[in-house]
Structure 1
Amino acid sequence: MSPVGTAPLHGLQVLDLTTGVAGPIVGQFLADFGAEVVKVEPPSGDPARALPGFAVWNRGKRSIVEPSGPTSERLRALVAGADVLLVTTRDQLDRVGLDREALLREHPTLLLTEVPPYAGDAPWHGGHESNGLLAAAAGVAWRQSSFDGGPVEQVSPHLLYVHGLWATVCTVAALTERERSGFGQVVSVNAVNGVQVPAFGSMTVDPAEDDPPTDIGPGGRHPTYTRHQAGDGLWLASGALGGKFELALLGMLGLSHLLEDDRMGGRIENLILPANYTWLAKEIRTAFLSRPRDEWLAMMPGLGIPCGPVEQPGGWLDHEQIKAIGMRAEVDDAERGRVVMPGIPLVLTGSPGRVTDGAPTLGAHDGEDLARAPRPVPAGKPPMSAGPLRGYRIVDMGTFVAGPYAGSLLAELGADVVKLEPAAGDPFRSSGFVVNRGMRSVAIDLRTPAGLAAFRELAAVSDVVLDSLRPGVTAKLGIDHDSLAEVRPDIVTVSLSAFGAAGPLAHRPGVDMVLSAMSGMMIAQGGDDEPVVNTMPLIDATTAAMLVLTTTLSLYHHERTGEGQHAWSSLAASAAFLQSGELVDFAGRPPAPVGGRDLRGFGPFDRYYRVADGWLRIQTTDRPSAEDLARHGIVVRATEYEADPAAELAAALAGLGAVQARDRFAALGIASHPARLVSEVVRDPDLVAQEIVHVRQAASTYVSTGRYATFGRTPRFGPLHPPGKGEHTRSVLRGAGLTDELIDQLERDGVVETGPPMEQRVPTAYR
Structure 2
Amino acid sequence: MSALEGVRVLDLSTGIAGPVVSMLLGDFGADVIRIDGPAPDPQSDHPGYAVWHRNKKSVRVDPARHSDLEWLAASVAGADVVVLGDGATLSDWGHSVEEAGRANAELVTLRLPAYVDGHSAWAGGESNDLLAGFAGMAMRQSSISGGPVASMSPFLSYIHALWAATCAVAALIERTVSGLGQVVTVTGMHSVLQANVSSFNTSPAAPDPPTAIGVMGRHPSYRQFLCADGKWLALGALGSKFEERLLRALGLERVLEDERIGGVTARMALPENFAWVTEIIESAVALRTRAEMLELVESIGIPCGPMNSREEWFDGEVVRSIGMRATVQDPARGAVDMVGIPIVLTRTPGAVRTPAPPPGADDGMPPWPAKEPKPGLPPRYVPGPLNGFRVLNMGTFVASPYAGMLLSELGADVLKVEPLTGDPNRLMSYAVNRGMRSIAIDLSTEAGQKVFHRLAETADIAMDAMRPGVMKKFSIDYATLSALNPRIVTQSMSAYGEGGEYAHRPGVDMVIQAESGMMSSWGGDDVPVANTIAINDVATSAMSTLLSLLGLYERQQSGVGQRTWNSLAATSTFLQMEHMVHFEGSPVPPVGHQDYRGHHPLRRYYEAADGWLGIDVHTFDDETAESRLRESGLVGDGDLATGLRDSIASLPLADALQRLARAGVPSAKVRPVSEVLRDPELLESEAFHIRLQDDGTSFMQTGRYAGFSRTQRRGPMVPPGNGEHTRAILRTAGLSDSEVDKSIEQRTVFAGGPVAHALPISYR
Q: Output the amino acid matched with 1:422.
A: P
Residues 382-401 of structure 1 mapped to structure 2, 5 A cutoff: 382-401=379-398
Give the Cα–Cα distance (whole angstroms) in 2 for the partners of residues 762 and 85 of structure 1. Answer: 41
Q: 1:695 aligns with which of 690, 695, 702?
A: 690
Q: 1:69 aligns with which of 64, 68, 77?
A: 64
Shift in Å, 1:449: 1.7
2:26 is the counterpart of 1:31: yes
* Count of aligned residue pairs for this structure pair: 757
Shift in Å, 1:442: 0.6
Give the Cα–Cα distance (whole angstroms) in 2 for the partners of residues 665 and 720 of structure 1. Answer: 41
Shift in Å, 1:515: 0.8
- Secondary structure of the corresponding residue to residue 314 of structure 1: helix
Going from structure 1 to structure 2, the CA distance change for 1:678 and 1:262 (only over 3 Å counts) comes to same
Judge conservation of contact 2:266–2:761 (CA < 8 Å) in 1.
no
Shift in Å, 1:73: 1.3
1:573-608 Cα offsets, whole Å, 9 max, x none, are: 001100111111111111112111210111223221
Judge conservation of contact 1:70–1:97 (CA < 8 Å) in 2.
no
Residues 280-429 of structure 1 mapped to structure 2, 5 A cutoff: 280-429=277-426
1:43 alignment counterpart: 38
Q: Output the amino acid matched with 2:303.
A: P
Going from structure 1 to structure 2, the CA distance change for 1:625 and 1:444 (only over 3 Å counts) comes to closer
Give the Cα–Cα distance (whole angstroms) in 1 for the partners of residues 285 and 394 of structure 2. Answer: 35
Q: Output the amino acid matched with 1:684.
A: D
2:487 alignment counterpart: 490
Query: Comparing 710-719 with 613-622, which one deviates more in the overlay?
Result: 613-622
Q: Output the amino acid matched with 2:61.
A: E
Judge conservation of contact 2:87–2:112 (CA < 8 Å) in 1.
no
Give the Cα–Cα distance (whole angstroms) in 1 for the partners of residues 359 and 631 of structure 2. Answer: 40
1:270-327 Cα offsets, whole Å, 9 max, x none, are: 1211111111111111111001001111111121100100101233222112111111
Give the Cα–Cα distance (whole angstroms) in 1 for the partners of residues 300 and 493 of structure 2. Answer: 22
2:509 is the counterpart of 1:512: yes
Judge conservation of contact 1:190–1:709 (CA < 8 Å) in 2.
yes
2:542 is the counterpart of 1:545: yes
Give the Cα–Cα distance (whole angstroms) in 2 for the partners of residues 375 and 275 of structure 1. Answer: 67
Give the Cα–Cα distance (whole angstroms) in 2 for the partners of residues 659 and 225 of structure 1. Answer: 39
Q: Output the amino acid matched with 2:9.
A: V
2:734 alignment counterpart: 737
Judge conservation of contact 1:345–1:573 (CA < 8 Å) in 2.
yes
1:666 alignment counterpart: 661
Going from structure 1 to structure 2, the CA distance change for 1:529 and 1:450 (only over 3 Å counts) comes to same
1:203 alignment counterpart: 200
1:241 alignment counterpart: 238
- Secondary structure of the corresponding residue to residue 455 of structure 1: helix
2:606 is the counterpart of 1:598: no
Q: 1:192 aligns with which of 189, 192, 195?
A: 189
Judge conservation of contact 2:197–2:701 (CA < 8 Å) in 1.
yes
Q: 2:681 aligns with which of 683, 686, 706?
A: 686
- Secondary structure of the corresponding residue to residue 694 of structure 1: strand
Shift in Å, 1:378: 4.7
Judge conservation of contact 1:231–1:291 (CA < 8 Å) in 2.
yes
Query: Comparing 617-626 with 351-360, which one deviates more in the overlay?
Result: 617-626
2:714 alignment counterpart: 717
2:49 alignment counterpart: 54
- Secondary structure of the corresponding residue to residue 204 of structure 2: coil
Q: 1:22 aligns with which of 14, 17, 20?
A: 17
Give the Cα–Cα distance (whole angstroms) in 1 for the partners of residues 131 and 625 of structure 2. Answer: 26
- Secondary structure of the corresponding residue to residue 197 of structure 1: helix
1:57-102 Cα offsets, whole Å, 9 max, x none, are: 1101000001443752111111111111111034463442157874
Judge conservation of contact 1:543–1:570 (CA < 8 Å) in 2.
yes
Judge conservation of contact 2:235–2:305 (CA < 8 Å) in 1.
yes
Q: Which runs of 5+ in 1 are unaligned?
A: 1-5
Q: Output the amino acid matched with 1:29.
A: L
- Secondary structure of the corresponding residue to residue 603 of structure 1: coil
Judge conservation of contact 2:625–2:665 (CA < 8 Å) in 1.
no
Shift in Å, 1:658: 1.9
2:757 alignment counterpart: 760
**TM-score, structure 2 length as denominator?**
0.96
2:476 is the counterpart of 1:446: no
1:239-263 Cα offsets, whole Å, 9 max, x none, are: 1111100111111111121111121
Going from structure 1 to structure 2, the CA distance change for 1:101 and 1:429 (only over 3 Å counts) comes to farther
Query: Comparing 716-725 with 69-78, which one deviates more in the overlay?
Result: 69-78
Shift in Å, 1:627: 10
Q: Output the amino acid matched with 2:441.
A: I
Q: 2:576 aligns with which of 558, 575, 579?
A: 579
Give the Cα–Cα distance (whole angstroms) in 1 for the partners of residues 448 and 285 of structure 2. Answer: 43
Q: 1:268 aligns with which of 262, 265, 268?
A: 265
Going from structure 1 to structure 2, the CA distance change for 1:99 and 1:293 (only over 3 Å counts) comes to farther
1:113-167 Cα offsets, whole Å, 9 max, x none, are: 0112111356454332111111111100000000111100101111101101110
Q: 1:113 aligns with which of 110, 115, 135?
A: 110
Give the Cα–Cα distance (whole angstroms) in 2 for the partners of residues 528 and 359 of structure 1. Answer: 34
Judge conservation of contact 2:90–2:101 (CA < 8 Å) in 1.
no
Give the Cα–Cα distance (whole angstroms) in 2 for the partners of residues 89 and 270 of structure 1. Answer: 44
**TM-score, structure 1 length as denominator?**
0.96
1:3 alignment counterpart: none
Give the Cα–Cα distance (whole angstroms) in 2 for the partners of residues 258 and 559 of structure 1. Answer: 55
2:223 alignment counterpart: 226
Judge conservation of contact 1:441–1:728 (CA < 8 Å) in 2.
yes
Give the Cα–Cα distance (whole angstroms) in 2 for the partners of residues 94 and 379 of structure 1. Answer: 24
1:476-519 Cα offsets, whole Å, 9 max, x none, are: 11110011122212211110011001111001011111111111
Q: Output the amino acid matched with 2:8.
A: Q
- Secondary structure of the corresponding residue to residue 596 of structure 1: coil
Judge conservation of contact 1:17–1:92 (CA < 8 Å) in 2.
no
Going from structure 1 to structure 2, the CA distance change for 1:118 and 1:247 (only over 3 Å counts) comes to same
Q: Output the amino acid matched with 2:745.
A: R
Alpha-carbon RMSD across the aligned residues, in angstroms, is: 1.8
Shift in Å, 1:660: 2.3
Give the Cα–Cα distance (whole angstroms) in 2 for the partners of residues 407 and 99 of structure 1. Answer: 41
Judge conservation of contact 1:125–1:669 (CA < 8 Å) in 2.
no
Query: Comparing 371-380 with 612-621, which one deviates more in the overlay?
Result: 371-380
Going from structure 1 to structure 2, the CA distance change for 1:296 and 1:627 (only over 3 Å counts) comes to closer
Give the Cα–Cα distance (whole angstroms) in 1 for the partners of residues 122 and 432 of structure 2. Answer: 35
Shift in Å, 1:370: 3.6
Judge conservation of contact 1:152–1:598 (CA < 8 Å) in 2.
yes
Give the Cα–Cα distance (whole angstroms) in 2 for the partners of residues 431 and 107 of structure 1. Answer: 46
Give the Cα–Cα distance (whole angstroms) in 2 for the partners of residues 125 and 135 of structure 1. Answer: 12
- Secondary structure of the corresponding residue to residue 484 of structure 2: coil
2:93 alignment counterpart: 96
- Secondary structure of the corresponding residue to residue 430 of structure 1: helix
Going from structure 1 to structure 2, the CA distance change for 1:469 and 1:343 (only over 3 Å counts) comes to same
Q: Output the amino acid matched with 1:138.
A: A
Judge conservation of contact 2:440–2:726 (CA < 8 Å) in 1.
yes
1:386-410 Cα offsets, whole Å, 9 max, x none, are: 1111100000000001110000000
2:281 is the counterpart of 1:256: no
Judge conservation of contact 2:724–2:753 (CA < 8 Å) in 1.
yes
Judge conservation of contact 1:387–1:714 (CA < 8 Å) in 2.
yes
- Secondary structure of the corresponding residue to residue 617 of structure 1: strand
Give the Cα–Cα distance (whole angstroms) in 2 for the partners of residues 183 and 103 of structure 1. Answer: 15
2:468 is the counterpart of 1:471: yes
Going from structure 1 to structure 2, the CA distance change for 1:680 and 1:118 (only over 3 Å counts) comes to same
Going from structure 1 to structure 2, the CA distance change for 1:413 and 1:103 (only over 3 Å counts) comes to farther
Give the Cα–Cα distance (whole angstroms) in 2 for the partners of residues 697 and 168 of structure 1. Answer: 33
- Secondary structure of the corresponding residue to residue 610 of structure 1: strand
2:153 is the counterpart of 1:156: yes
Judge conservation of contact 1:423–1:445 (CA < 8 Å) in 2.
yes
